[in-house]
Structure 1
Amino acid sequence: MKIGLYFGTFNPIHVGHLIIANHMVENSDLDEIWMVVTPHNPFKKKSSLLENHHRFELVYKATENYSKIKPSDIEFKLPQPNYTVFTLAHISEQYPNKEFCLIMGEDNLKSFHKWKNYETILEHHHIYVYPRISEGKVETRFDNHPKIHKVEAPIVEISSTMIRNGIKESKNIQPMLTKEVWNYIDEMNFYKK
């Protein structure tokens, strides 16, 4: 089984994340997508970042109707600060019968050569890249790389920051979230101050 790992803080998860995840799993050879909720760095206090368990709950609620998209809290149990290369090693050890691939936006591919042990990641894992509107050129060293697959996907320009600011300003941002995610955020009074 081939699983795409889609990392994010998901603060909060929105329909853009789901559109990309669903498109990737339906239009590639991936069998499932795991939405890996990144824990907040204990050394960086960010007041707008919800607690780990709340963000995981939002991802759970957003994905429960999608059989091929699953929430994952695998990074919560790893020492912080954490690097993707360690998460990949850990998850591959936990599930030896599954093949794990990375999902990233084109913007992340530009700085991928600066990631810790990026060569190790490329040696052991495929990367599926979705398009983003952004400035600058992707590193040519990754052009036609056998392990990097560009997937034509809708370009979604929704950001979690936009949603948090909208809630703070009492704007209606409901179309950008699933009903379950909106209900939980509203019920818990998240992002209002």
Structure 2
Amino acid sequence: MIIIYGGSFDPPHRGHFSIVEKLVQDFPEPKEILIIPNHRSPFKEKKILEIDEIWRLSELTFGSLINDSIRLVDMEIKSESSSYTYDTVLKLTGQYPNESFYLCIGEDSLIGLVQWYEFEKLNELIHSYIILRRTTEAPHILSFPNQEIENKSIVLNNPIWDVSSSKIRNERNLEYAKKWMNPDAFVFLQNQGWFEKNK
């Protein structure tokens, strides 16, 4: 099995790191967990951080987890266009023709999943969806767009962290960022004077 964990990571924080830790705990024998920062989400505005900054921050944030079965993948972030999950999964099926694919999505994206680009084709490529809790504590049941998606979904009972990338980048509060970011990633931004820019 291949687990796909993508996101904007603008910037990455401890909540993102804890998701990967939980995936390792709950799925101890995947062939690979692929952490895939995107270039630009079709659902979000232009990123605040530069692409090379996000890649470096991702290396610093997830670095202690990287091994033979957990990889940081640049296939989306090096693209010049919006990152569509279907395109990514289609490419991965060519690289791993005999593997089943498990796609991580946040519960906040669940209802709109059926409106994703080429969803019907994407759905055919996905063995299971791993649903990441954002606000709904276990054991509360999530709302699914239809029965088919619910039947092929696994809800990850991950810790819910009171942190957001948008708050880090919009407020640029040193103490908040220091609390929620990887220490090396925080220092990287601090050394660039990022917290003083465009406040």
- If the TM-score is normalised by the length of the shorter chain, which range does it land in? 0.7 to 0.9
Change (3 A) 1:41 1:153: closer
Corresponding position of 2:132 = 130
| Alpha-carbon distance in structure 1 between the residues aligned to 2:86 and 2:149 | 22
1:76 aligned counterpart, secondary structure:
coil
Contact kept, 8 Å, 1:5 with 1:101, in 2: the verdict is yes
Change (3 A) 1:79 1:54: closer
What value does the CA root-mean-square deviation take over the aligned residues? Answer: 2.6
Change (3 A) 1:110 1:117: same
| Alpha-carbon distance in structure 1 between the residues aligned to 2:132 and 2:40 | 24
Contact kept, 8 Å, 1:58 with 1:181, in 2: the verdict is yes
| Alpha-carbon distance in structure 2 between the residues aligned to 1:99 and 1:40 | 26
After TM superposition, give the deviation of residue 172 of structure 1 in Å.
4.7
After TM superposition, give the deviation of residue 147 of structure 1 in Å.
2.1
Contact kept, 8 Å, 2:107 with 2:133, in 1: the verdict is yes
| Alpha-carbon distance in structure 2 between the residues aligned to 1:19 and 1:60 | 15
Corresponding position of 1:19 = 18
- 1:79-158 aligned within 5 A: 80-125=81-126, 126-133=128-135, 138-142=143-147, 145-158=150-163
Change (3 A) 1:121 1:45: closer
| Alpha-carbon distance in structure 2 between the residues aligned to 1:138 and 1:177 | 30
Corresponding position of 1:36 = 36
Structure 1: segments with no counterpart, 5+ residues = none
Contact kept, 8 Å, 1:12 with 1:160, in 2: the verdict is yes
Contact kept, 8 Å, 2:14 with 2:180, in 1: the verdict is yes
**1:189 and 2:196 equivalent?**
no
Change (3 A) 1:152 1:80: same
Aligned residues: 187
- TM-score normalised by length of structure 1: 0.83
Task: Give the counterpart letter for 2:22 in structure 1.
Answer: H
Change (3 A) 1:17 1:52: same
Task: Give the counterpart letter for 1:150 in structure 2.
Answer: V
After TM superposition, give the deviation of residue 160 of structure 1 in Å.
0.8
Structure 2: segments with no counterpart, 5+ residues = 137-141
- TM-score normalised by length of structure 2: 0.81
Contact kept, 8 Å, 2:111 with 2:143, in 1: the verdict is yes
Contact kept, 8 Å, 1:142 with 1:148, in 2: the verdict is no
Residue deviations 1:29-53 (CA, integer Å, cap 9, x gap): 56243221110379x973x621212
| Alpha-carbon distance in structure 2 between the residues aligned to 1:142 and 1:154 | 26
